[in-house]
Amino acid sequence: MARYGMALDYKNCINCKACEVACKEENGVELGAEKHRIWVGGNNPEGQWPLLDIASAAFLPSQCQQCDEAPCEEVCPTHATYYDENGVVRVDADKCILCSYCMNACPYDARYVDDRTMTVDKCTFCSDTRLARGETTTACQNTCPTKVRTFGDLDDPNSEISELLRTREHFSLKSHLGTNPKLFYLT
């Protein structure tokens, strides 16, 4: 049993989107722009050429924040959304009734409908694939050329992620909502 989390050194992101491709390939995510478990957000640079504010054109890789207090889990009427033994927020497709309440409740737009099962799907930290095979990396982390992502056990003080969170300043997205995400953005 672990408590998995992820640290993102997001300033290293070059928007190559290899993580998006790896996620789709590893987890068999449907094709289509709307069907994605992870994504890289980007801003257009502000200002007028040639005085462009390059610093404003940041990339922000993101996905399900694996909240400790997940709104999607709270609002699910049939407990289809649950925390597994590793603290990962998962969806039991057999129980999902597709009321879409979780999609509305998730502050991060991290959920989508899988048209094959007609249930809601989301990032599982590769629980059904890599973690199930005994590996301790995720597809997005493994493929990243600039090592943006560090995945590991937050309860293990010797893990790389614990070390990073002890030594680097970090923030979480929409932390004011009290969701306690397990994705940490390193500054």
Partner 1 sequence: MNFIKKIIPMKDFTLRSLMQFEKTPLNMLMFVITIALLVAFGWGVVEYLVHSHHAYNITRQHPWGLLIAMYIFFVVSSTGLCIVGSLGDVFGFKDYMAMSKRAILGSIVTILAGFAVIAFEIGHPVRMLIYNVLSPGLTSAIWWMGTLYGIYLTFMIIEFIFLMRNDMKNARIFGLTGLLVGLAAHSNLGGVFGFLNARIISNGVFYPTYFILTAFITGIYLTYLMYGFRYKMQIPDDIKKGLLGLAKIQALLLGILMFFETWKLMTAVYGGMPGRADTAEHIFHSAGFLYGEVLCGMVIPFVVMLATKWQSIKLYVFTSFIGMIGIFFMRYDLVHDTQVKPLQMMKITEYQLPPTWIEYFPSAAEIAIGFGAIGIFFMLYYFGQKMFELDATEH
- DSSP one-letter code for 161: H
How far is the C-alpha of 125 from the C-alpha of 104, rounded, in Å? 21
Stretch that binds partner 1, among 110-118, 129-137, 140-148, 158-166 (CB under 8 A): 110-118
By CB under 8 A, residue 18 contacts partner 1 = no
Stretch that binds partner 1, among 94-102, 135-143, 150-158, 162-170 (CB under 8 A): 94-102
> What count of other Cβ atoms lies within 10 Å of the Cβ of residue 43?
11
Query: Number of H helices and number of E strands within the chain?
Result: 5, 10
- Please name which of 129, 42, 68 lies closest in space to residue 141, comparing C-alpha atoms: 129
* Least gap, CB of 54 to partner 1 (angstroms): 16
* Least gap, CB of 38 to partner 1 (angstroms): 10
User: Residue numbers of the site for partner 1 (CB under 8 A)?
Assistant: 33-34, 36, 39-44, 60, 71, 74-80, 94-101, 103-109, 111-113, 115, 118-119, 174, 177-178
